[in-house]
DNA sequence: AACTCTATTATTAGGGC
DNA sequence: TGCCCTAATAATAGAGT
């Protein structure tokens, strides 16, 4: 029957980068899990499509040691997303339902979008995959003709949807 | 001095798609905002890089009427991300610091990754941009040679980081 | 690191405007 | 949609194991 509190319970914390590294790691795992739970709930309650990728602070320079890991995870995630979309949308329709003008427009749109991505995205991917090991000036590396992908690099199954 | 409660307060809800459409909309905005706040906090507290995109249920078929909107938003977002990465990392190093073997490896990695993305991502982008207007069989449209980008399609500034 | 426990803070359902 | 209010549920900081 002690009058002492066993725990002070949750304390308010300041909204800035945590200085204590081990506290930071604990908070990171807790809040990351919370974030994915929230995302999952929003998705189920409201039938929303959500994409969520979290890179841990340490992971930016240490854990991603080569592009193979990334490629593997990227491939898995893309396969998953594709299945999900296939399940959700109609995939039985045939391309011959489009007339010639539609096809042309469609092709043009795709090409334009690809070019746009190409111009902007190249540097991002290079950063993700190589910053931690190779120093270089990205601007000099085939700057405008590699259409690319960014953001789809999950880690430890932390991309949502799962 | 009424003994009646003014409000029952928060009620527990079942984890399934909400049936009442207007409740769903309200919950969607509230929880979406909450989700972005949580993401923001995790990012600040733990110095984590987070990518979060939320598509509202209705938006999947109605608001995205053409690829131009998407391209605009995609471009804006990519510019923003690029700036952020440029600010965070060292961009002064030069490619001539890489030796020939490194450059070769680097080039090969990029090409492999591009091909991987190409194989998987094509259908996803097509879905995002065209499902709501055009019926077609994506599998038939240049299935394997359009390297592409998926997930980077924000809407209404809901991509994080802001 | 992952799990407990606890007390506290944070979020939010339901209502009104 | 957005904001307010209230009372409830949910998340989590700090500590121990």
- What band does A19 get if pLDDT is binned at 50, 70 and 90? very high
Cβ-contact B46, A31 below 8 angstroms: yes
- What band does A140 get if pLDDT is binned at 50, 70 and 90? very low
Q: Is the pTM of this model over 0.85?
A: no
Asked if the model's pLDDT at residue B49 lies above 60, the reply is yes
The whole-angstrom distance between A3's CA and the closest CA on chain B is: 32
Percent of chain A predicted with pLDDT > 90: 17
pLDDT tens digit sequence for A4-16: 667 888 999 999 9
pLDDT at A50: 72
Helix (H, G, I), strand (E, B) or coil at B26: helix
- What band does A48 get if pLDDT is binned at 50, 70 and 90? confident
Asked if the model's pLDDT at residue B37 lies above 80, the reply is yes
pLDDT at A27: 95
Q: Which of B85, B102, B134 sits opposite A134 (nearest CB)?
A: B102
Contact B47 A85 (CB under 8 A): no
- Going by C-alpha positions, the residue among A159, A95, A148 that lies closest to residue A120 is A148
pLDDT at B101: 44
If 0-12 CB within 10 Å is exposed, 13-18 middle and 19+ buried, where does residue A28 land?
buried
> Which nucleotide is closest to the Cα of B30 by its C1'?
C12
Q: Interhelix angle for A100-130 vs A67-88, to 10°?
A: 150
pLDDT at A15: 93
Which of residues A132 and A108 earns the better pLDDT score?
Answer: A108
Which of residues B93 and A10 earns the better pLDDT score?
Answer: A10
Integer angstrom CA distances of residue A84 from A89, A91, A143, A148, B97: 9, 12, 33, 22, 43
- Find which of A45, A66, A107, A154 to mutate to test the B interface (most B CBs within 10 Å of its CB): A45
Instruction: State the Cα–Cα distance between residues B41 and A15, nearest whole angstrom.
Output: 7
Check if A13 contacts B (Cβ < 8 Å): yes
Average pLDDT (A131-137) is 19
Chain A residues near residue B12 by CB distance under 8 angstroms: none
- What band does A54 get if pLDDT is binned at 50, 70 and 90? confident
Q: Could you say which nucleotides of strand D lie within 7 A of any protein CB atom?
A: 1-2, 5-15
DSSP secondary structure, chain A, as one string: ---S-S--------SS--SSHHHHHHHHHHHHHHHHHHHHHHHHHHT-EEEEEEE-TGGGTTT--SHHHHHHHHHHHHHHHHHHHHHHS-----GGGS-HHHHHHHHHHHHHHHHHHHHHHHHHHHHHHHTTT----GGGSSTTS-----S----TT-SB--
- For chain A, give the number of residues: 162
Average pLDDT (A111-115) is 44
pLDDT tens digit sequence for A69-109: 444 444 444 444 344 433 333 222 223 333 444 444 444 44
Which of residues A100 and B150 earns the better pLDDT score?
Answer: A100
The whole-angstrom distance between A6's CA and the closest CA on chain B is: 27
């Amino acid at each position: 029957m002690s009058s002492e509190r066993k725990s002070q319970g949750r304390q308010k914390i300041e909204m800035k980068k945590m200085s204590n590294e081990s506290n930071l790691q604990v908070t990171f795992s807790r809040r990351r899990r919370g974030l994915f739970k929230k995302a999952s709930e929003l998705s189920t309650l409201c039938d929303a499509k959500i994409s969520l990728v979290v890179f841990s602070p340490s992971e930016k320079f240490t854990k991603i040691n080569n592009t193979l890991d990334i490629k593997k995870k990227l491939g898995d995630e893309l396969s998953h997303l594709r299945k999900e979309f296939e399940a959700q949308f109609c995939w039985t329709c045939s391309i011959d339902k489009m007339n010639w003008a539609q096809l042309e427009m469609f092709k043009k749109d795709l090409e334009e979008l690809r070019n746009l991505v190409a111009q902007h995205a190249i540097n991002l991917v290079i950063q993700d995959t190589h910053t931690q090991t190779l120093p270089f000036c990205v601007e000099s590396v085939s700057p405008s003709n590699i259409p690319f992908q960014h953001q789809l690099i999950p880690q430890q199954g932390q991309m949502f949807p799962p």
